[in-house]
Amino acid sequence: MAKSLVVVESPAKAKTINKYLGKDFKVVASMGHIRDLPKSKLGVDVDEGFAPAYEAIPGRKKVIKELRAAAKNATDIYVATDPDREGEAIGWHLASELGGKKKKIHRLTFNEITKKAILEALEHPGDIDQQMVDAQQARRVLDRLVGYKLSPLLWDKVRRGLSAGRVQSVALRLVCDREEEISRFKSEEYWHIFARLAADQPPEFDAKLTKKDGETIAVGNEAESKVVLDAVADASFVVSKVATKERKKSAAPPFITSKLQQASKMPVKRTMMIAQQLYEGIELPGEGAVGLITYMRTDSTRVSAEAIDDARNHIASTFGDDFVPKKPNTFRTKKNTQDAHEAIRPTSMQYGPETVKPHLSREQYTLYRMIWNRFVASQMLPARFDDTTVDIDAAAYTLRVKGSVLKFNGWMAAHGLAAEEKADEVASPTGDANGQDDAVSGALPAMQPGDRLELKQLRPEQKFTQPPPRFSEATLVKELEENGIGRPSTYAAIIGVLQAREYVEKIEGRFKPTRLGSLVTDLLAKSFDDILAVEYTRDLEESLDKIEGGDADYRSTIENFYGKFSVDLTQAAKSMPNIKAEGLPSEEVCDKCKSPMVVKVGRFGMFLACSSYPDCQNTRELETADTGPDEEAEACENCGKPMVVKRGRFGQFLACSGYPDCKTTRKLIATKEGLAAAKPDQMLDEKCPRCESNLVIKHGRFGEFTACSSYPKCRYVKLKPTGVACPKDGGDIVERKSRRGRAFYGCSNYPDCDFTLWNKPLIEPCPECKAPFLVEKVTKRHGRQLLCHKEECDYVRSEELAAV
């Protein structure tokens, strides 16, 4: 019996949709794109309107054959690819392969994979949107023209295997420009002066020096701070002004793709992969595969009226009517927003995070809970605070303190934080990037103008201005988004290429350009200043949006770009220095023939080579400030010869200069300052409890640790005990390190016991509920606190931080 054929991209999506459609439909997967531009040639006819020459992707030929066979006897063919440009283009290619004169291809679009959404899409099928297809093709062809014209230029001038891209190169320039800012930055000293004061009623609080004789004051050094301290040490501290006003803080809009990527603690690529799983369907008992979130590639904060009604009903039943605004909350959309899809939200309020948690992985649950909380909070009333600002006069000086008290938690209730933590989260200090902020407290004691305050302590704090930080994945995504470079769906690929090409390296989670990345950026910037310009790239992205909206056409957009690009390309072929043949001049001299050394680029990065090659074939690793060794070379622990920096297939490392007679090597590990040599292993007299071999102190990514010297035969690692027994099975609670290097505490019997804590346990029973131990929590606001580890117990007390 003939069936209607529905084609989607992935097997997981096919499985979920097939459940909703029943026996009259056959749902198959194309496995993504089935056709693309050829890899072996440009594939774009620049003389015939930039017509792309598509061909079947080699790995998809079998899939195409199976799709054609399935389509042969189908009554109707529906393309149900993702509802974005890329999905529309895939649908267009599928229609070209499966359609014909007698068969019409129907387009199904939906924002969520739910039964209602799928059946509704079937009732209102559409056609392939040619304008969306043209916009995708324009992006693909532009990227191909840049990539296939610029990359060979780099192969000729620098080294084979390098690549350049229309968006990738701009992203790399952002990283390089930031690094240049950091290197030019000159730190400046400044001082903060705080007074610990007490009113008639507790609590005590810190007030910060802000003015002298009514004018803003900046304390620049220790001598100036001593002048202030001497002037106010014996002065009377009198309240001069008290101002209280209510402040409202509204909830953030539901997630768009870029904001989800920034908020997630996972790499961008991982975030999108987990979101894709939640979108395509999670197996739930008795229901099969269920799509838990709407489409995860969107830059719109729009939400359907039905979803808003469901959220408002959920808020009323969960938190009460007092948390529901009279009218639904709406959010402004940015210029150039593609409003085809809703914001990222749960598909149904019946699938709460805790309800589905047993069926999700840890990463899936974490991401889903973020999406759920953000969406629910977005339809709740603002939080309200009473903010109090108190000015205090002391001689000619004025000090200020700001207090904030939470009156109504509003949308913050959706995030499940304690009231004090919520206040901390939103009552952030106001100030500039150099820390010129006011002292911020929680609840302040009642004060009136004229009240005298008791001085408990004067505290000067030396500070230094800090350079802008390097980009993390989240902040690089934010920079790309704010500058209109690329699209949220492309950010993961952009970051991945920069790392794969070794143009950037990650140091403690932040991107630093490699010498190769800086070199490529410098060469391209001199010849293709427009392509690497943020404004130019942003304008080009807007042109792609205009194609989709029908306000521009494919051919003229590419012609306008290619005209200047081809001229620049011809000029660059003549003017760009030939590093491959001649190298870059350096100040180094060959230690064998005394000829000048030049910088060249090899398989494993940049290196120094003798300019007299091939007569002299001497080479040397290019020294860099990041490789850690001090002015005096470190000696090999085995033969005493100097250790030198080498580069292999896994990056840089230290090796003995006596190679091949001595083959001692040492890892280089990433630190905040750059790369540093790992300490040599230190053998201990202590025996391994598992195999009786000696234990050894090693140095890894997250610092020193003690392990068995028989690794990998024995994988014992000695963990730091806390002396507290696990409440689950009585094992020892020991200190561990997460994948990101953060300390946490867990049972030594892991994986048999999965008990964990983020806060350090202490051997002290809870005075209230008699739980066997307390935990230590240290925050900027409260200092050191001891709390009961049981969630249902509210015991807490403050303690002084131990002296270091």
Are the beta carbons of 347 and 112 closer than 8 angstroms? yes
- Beta strand pairing status for 77-79 and 105-107? parallel
Are 208 and 463 a contacting pair, CB within 8 Å? no
273 phi/psi in degrees, rounded to 5: -65, -45
How many angstroms separate the CA atoms of 781 and 439, rounded?
Answer: 11
CB 170 within 8 A of CB 176: no
Ramachandran region, residue 584 (left: φ > 0; alpha: ψ -120 to 50; beta: rest): beta
Neighbours of 665 (CB within 10 A): 14
Q: Cα separation of 164 and 151, whole Å?
A: 5
Q: Which two tokens stand for residue 577?
A: 């220095």
Q: Tokens 């006069």 label which residue? A: 393
One-character DSSP codes across 329-352: ---PPPTT--TTSPPB-BS-TTS-
Angle subtended at Cα 298 by Cα 109 and Cα 415, rounded to the nearest 5 degrees: 120
- The single-letter code of the amino acid at 790 is K
Task: Compute how many other C-beta atoms are within 10 angstroms of the C-beta atom of residue 689.
Answer: 10
Please state, in angstroms and rounded to a whole number, the distance separating the CA atoms of residues 132 and 676.
50
**Burial class of residue 601 (count of CB atoms within 10 Å of its CB; 0-12, 13-18, 19+):** buried
* CA distances, 285 to each of 51, 280, 358, 783 (Å): 50, 16, 10, 46
Pairing assessment for the beta strands 77-79 and 55-56 based on DSSP bridges: unpaired
* Residue spans of alpha helices (H) in 550-590: 554-575, 579-582
Residues 6+ apart with CB under 8 A from 275: 260, 293, 296, 344, 367
Q: Which amino acid is present at 655?
A: A
Check if 295 is active-site: yes
Q: Classify each residue of 195-209 as buried b or exposed e, where b means 16 or more C-beta atoms within 10 Å of its C-beta.
A: bebebeeeeebbbbb
Give residue 355's Cα distance to chain centre: 28
Q: Which of 20, 78, 295, 491 is catalytic?
A: 295
* Phi, psi dihedrals of residue 215, rounded to the nearest 5°: -110, 145
Q: Is 222 helix (H, G, I), strand (E, B) or coil?
A: helix
Positions annotated as catalytic residues are: 295
